[in-house]
Amino acid sequence: MDKCIFCMIANGEIPTNKVYEDDRVIAFYDLEPQAPVHVLIVPKKHYESILAVPAEESCVVGHMFQVASKLAHELGIAEKGFRLVINTGKEGGQSVPHLHLHMTGGREHGWPAG
């Protein structure tokens, strides 16, 4: 999609601090980290949010979580714990309209989330 910041990162138009990439997803460090480790796991295909993923393509969502699990080990946060979040829509706090999974770790997380 034109001028979508995460599509531009995914197709290499904008350089980023990448931690993982395969044919379906890219993962990179958040520009404004909210924790010592803050990675975004992003499908290369543009979906405006989780609501836009058709049932027949939902395996990409499982893959995003699988990549998060692998990265949690690699980035050293698996043992102590971490949080996975998909903000959705205005009240969900989504600011970039391209589906992404936040992974934050390296500090205590409160609950309920703000």
Number of residues that make up the chain: 114
Specify whether the CB–CB gap between 96 and 3 falls below 8 A.
no
Closer residue to ligand 5GP in complex, CB, 21/30 = 30
Closer residue to Zn ion in complex, CB, 6/82 = 6
21 binds, among ligand 5GP, Zn ion, none (CB under 5 to 8 A by kind): none
Specify whether the CB–CB gap between 69 and 35 falls below 8 A.
no
Instruction: Using CB under 6 A, pick the residue from 13, 23, 32, 56 that binds ligand 5GP.
Output: 32
Radius of gyration (C-alpha) of the chain in whole angstroms: 14
Q: Is 38 one of the annotated active-site residues of the chain?
A: no
98 scored as a contact of Zn ion (CB under 5 A):
yes
Span of 18-26, 48-56, 69-77, 91-99 interacting with ligand 5GP by CB under 6 A:
91-99
Spatial separation of the C-alpha atoms in residues 40 and 102, rounded to whole Å = 5
Span of 45-53, 61-69, 73-81, 88-96 interacting with ligand 5GP by CB under 6 A:
88-96
With a CB cutoff of 8 Å and minimum separation 6, the contacts of 112 are none
